[in-house]
Every structure is written in structure tokens, then in C-alpha cells.
Structure 1
Amino acid sequence: MTVDGTAPSRPALRRFMLVAVWLPVALVALGVAVQLLLLLPQAPATIAVHWNASGEADRFAPAWTQPIATVVFGLGVPVLIALTSLPGLRRGDHGPTYRLMGATAAAVSAMVSVALTWTLAMQAGLDSAADAPAVWPALVTSLVAASVAGVAAWFVQPRGESTGAVTPPAIPLALSAHEQALWMRTTSIARGAAIAIFAGVLVIALSAAVAGVTGAEPLLVWFLVGVAVLLLAIAATTLAFHVRVDDSGMHVESVLGIPRYHVPLGDIESAARVDVNPMGEFGGWGLRLSTGGRFGVVLRAGEAIEVLRRSGTRFVVTVDDAATGAALLEALVSRAAARP
């Protein structure tokens, strides 16, 4: 049982496993079995694996790579989704993000299995892969299969919505009329997440280097370089933030200076210490939007300051000693309201 009184939902966990793990395994196994037993013996040694915008085959590979690609892509994404989601689900976390992740895993496996099996089937019996027909029927069918699998997986899983409980404001610190107070902390993303982010940047950068060395189209190379640079910039500006509470409000600023956020004291309705589940509430880590008008600097799971603004929107930042920061904000807001 979790500390907030929410028991881990065993049906939710079982159904997530069903749609995000066992369904992809079954779809990929079926696709690979058809490819190995029925299609590969009839396919040419080299098959088309890429088609241009007009639907004509323009890249080729050994036929035996098709079952391998089906396993790698058809199970790779679902495995990553499961590894990311299962720890939270086992703790009893909930939220529509987990439901979406399960549906995405099912959709990806269905799309890959159908697309790669179909494109191999349409080349069975050909003398040359250059004679491969247009790929459009395979693409349309795979997208339909992905839609059906994703929608079905969404509805198979329980809704798992939060109870909608509102956290009461923090108890204000005791401040005299002219007493000055300042609270500061630095918050940073978990080490494992930071390593994963930079590993992703490195993979993209290496892909760009390989594409350049192997003579890929310049547009693709520059696209990969641009993606790597963009991801590096996003990572560098969101790995750590300084959080400050003073008589002007709450300031949250990246250690590099950008981005920065300021919630003025006069714009604060209340402040509370809350517990944040990044996946369940915000769909991940970083600068995140959520339902209910919430925006967060969400770098890890755990305690956070949540500020309710007078507009009704909420600003959340995960930080240690959030109770003290929220209590000081409440005291400053109360004192400002009491002044003539």
C-alpha cells in the first residue's frame, strides 16, 4: 500500500503488461514466423527496404534482415516503454500517461509487424527486388492496424484517473511585519535520467557521423546534426535549476540562466508542498504541461512546491525541502495581504 492511501492497482498493472508487453510479443512472433516459414523461401536474396516519395523502391538489403528488423523495431519501442512505465505502476502510480504509453506500445508493434511482413510478402516470388510494387498498400494497412491496436489497448486498460484531491496550502511560517526571509535550493535531474539524455544525444550524433561517412544524403546528415544540437541545448538548459523564494515571489532559473520563471507574490493565491509523479502526472521529466492548467519544472519524482496562481493555473517545481519553501511563500502572501 502506498503512503498516500492509494493501493497499487493490480488490474491496471496486468492490463498494461497485456497490451504493452505480451501483445507486442505475440504480434512480432506471428510476423516473424510468417516471414521465416512462408515468405523468405520465396523471396529474392536481396529485397527492397525503402521506397521514395513516388512509391518506388530505392534501397535494398539482404532478405534475412527483415525478420531481424521486425524484432528490433517491433519489440524495441515496447520494451523501452515497459522499462520506463512499470516501476511507477508497481508503486501504485496512476494517470492517463501510463494508459497512453501502453496503447503506444501496442500500436507500434502492430504497425511494424504488419508493414515489414507485408513488404516482404509483396516481393515473394519476384526475380529481382527492383520489380517490387509500390509500398502504399502496405503503409495504409499498417497504419490501420496500428490505429486498431492502439485504440483497443487504450480501452482495455482501466481509466486510472486520480481522485482529484486538492492539497491544502502550507502552514505559513511565523514572520514579523518587517522581518526579511530568503529560501534557496538547487534542484537537478536524477543521475540516471541525465545519463540517458546524454546517451540519446550521443546516439543521434553518432548516427549523423555514420550517415556522413557512408555518403548519405546531405539533407539527412544536417537534419541529424540539427537534432543532436537541439537535444544537447535542451538538456544543458534543463538539467538543473536554482529555486528562490523571497518577498518578490518565487524564482526558478536554469543554472545557465535560461529558461527562467518568476511568479510574483501578488499573483500567488496559495502555495503547497505536494508529491509529484512525473510519468503519471506530467508524462515525463523536464519542462512539462499537464492537465488542469499545470506547468512544471519536473526533474524527478518526489516533493515539490505547487503554486496556485490567481488565474487558476498551477506552477510546480520539484525541489528538496519543498515544505519550507511553500510555508515561506504562504507567510509572505499572508503578510502582503494584511498590509493596508
Structure 2
Amino acid sequence: MSEHMNTPTGRSPFRRAREVAAVALPLGVWAAGAALVAAWRPELPTPVAVHWGAGGEADGFADPLRAVLLTGVVPVLGSLVTGLVLRARRVAAQERRLVAGSATGISVFCVGLAVGSIAGQRGLADPAAAPSPMLAALVAGLLAVLGGVAAARLLPAPPRGAARASSAPPETAPRLPVAEGERAVWSRRATMGPPALAALGVGGLVLGGLVLIGTAPAPLLLAPAVLLGVGLLFGSVRVWVDERGLTVRSPLGRPSWQVPLADVAEATVVDVRPMREFGGWGYRVGRDGRRGVVLRRGEALEVVQGDGRRFTVTVPGADQGAALLNTLATRQHS
């Protein structure tokens, strides 16, 4: 089977401007935060509180502008990664949006938390009386979501029909016998493997413990709740193969992923090693550009789309799902 990836041969000036904006957004957030703190400096104590103990008392202090400038590591890395991804030809539109949105969202949170905690100290004479930054963390989290979505939408969505398969799966692809006119549906639940669950649990316990002993700031108490949310969203998924194509959906209904039947060039079974091939568990983009919902090591259903992109989901009984998907795709092209 020939795998040809459709890539744009040129970029309009408007599209290039949107890409430049997506790359510059994390740095712009950082610059805006530094400008605000510089403007507030006459109203701030010197130094300001930058760390709070488990009881909410300020116990770490630094120069206000220096504290914000140090957060620049995250935006700089975010802009760098976004720029590299946008230059790469093999990265699909969805992943470009994901990277740009994540880089801006994380930058907004880090800078917003620093600026918000400093904003609460305006007019204070004693930085030790600085209020807990918990409210600043919540506001920064909300702004991070909004900023991430806005950055993702700066980049164009994939063109409709770009991944459509031009022919049926090859004769060598596995198939499942289905009578003409018969409707067939395959569905299995995929659950996260013990290593991934252990990583989430240990991560939450470590972060919570660091806060309780006063080594980490109090807002990190939100981290175990975030990790629990990640477990609920990605700890298990339901996988369907039917006349719509391949559908993968989390227990809450969102997020979900779908490869339409018209886009299926071939479905196969592969063996996945999460850390080596995808760098971890959850929704991942592999080193070779593959997208995947990777919950455990072992067999996975992989779909090759008409533009050469691949989508992978680790699921038991992947051979049956792949065979049925090839059968339905062949039927559509007949």
C-alpha cells in the first residue's frame, strides 16, 4: 500500500501570521506579566513572598520582578517547541493545535500564578502577611484553559476530506466475514495498565507530601486532584468499530476521538511499548508522528488513514476490531 501524506506546498501570508502569533503568544504572556509587576513595583514590599508553607504562611521571599522573570523558562520552551512543531511537515493539524494550545496554556498558568500571588501583596508593608495564592492559582487555571483554546484556534483546522482513503484496504489486510446487508458492531473497553495507574498514584502522593512538609507551595495541593481527573478521563475508554468507523470515547464522553470509515485505508494490529514509542500513557503523539490513546503495553488497533497518518489505540481483541474495520471499509468502496 502506498502511503502518501498530503502536505501544503505553500503558505498564505495570513496563515504564516497566525503561526507566528501562536509561537509568540507564550512569550507575549510572559512580557505582559513582567510589565505588570514592573508597574506595581512602587506599591510592593521588597522582597515579596514567593513561597507559602503547609499552613498558608509565607516562608520564602524574592525580588518581585526577578520572581516573574524566572518563570520565563516555561514560555521560552513553549515558544521553541511550538515553532519546531509548526516547521515539521509530518505533524498533523490536530497535533499542531494541541502543542500550540498546551504551550500557551501552561505559560499562562505559570506566569498568572506568579503575577496573581504578587498582585495580592500590593500595598503591604510586610510580605510575611501576604495572603495565600490559592485564589490566584484558580484564576490562573481558568485563564490557562481560555488562553490555550484561543491559541489552538489560531491555527487552521485540518481540511475536510484531506484524510479520505482513495481505495479499499489491500487484499492482504485481515477481514471479518460479514454477510451482505448484515450490520456488524464491535466494542471493547480498554483500561489503563498497572504501571500507568501506579505513576499517577505515586505522583499525586509525592506532590501532596511535599506540600504537607512545607517543601512545595500550597497550590500544588491541587495536583493530586488534577491527577485524579486525568485518571478519570484517560483511565479507561470504550472503543467501537461500526459503520461510522473507529470511535474512542472516555467514560465522561469527552474527550473522544474518531476516524471516519471513509478515511480508513487499512487497519492492522501492532504491539505498543508506551514509554519507548509514545513517551508515556494517555493521549499521545509518538516520535514518528503517530497519534494514539495508549493505556497499556501490548496489542493495539492501528488505523492508517488516506493521507498516511496513523491512529493507534491499545485495546484487547484488536485483531477482531481491525478485521471488521477493513471489512466495512471495503464494503464502502465496493
Q: TM-score, normalised by structure 2?
A: 0.47
Q: Compare CA radii of gyration and give the structure with the larger one.
A: 1
Q: Which has the higher contact order (CA 8 A, sep 6+)?
A: 2
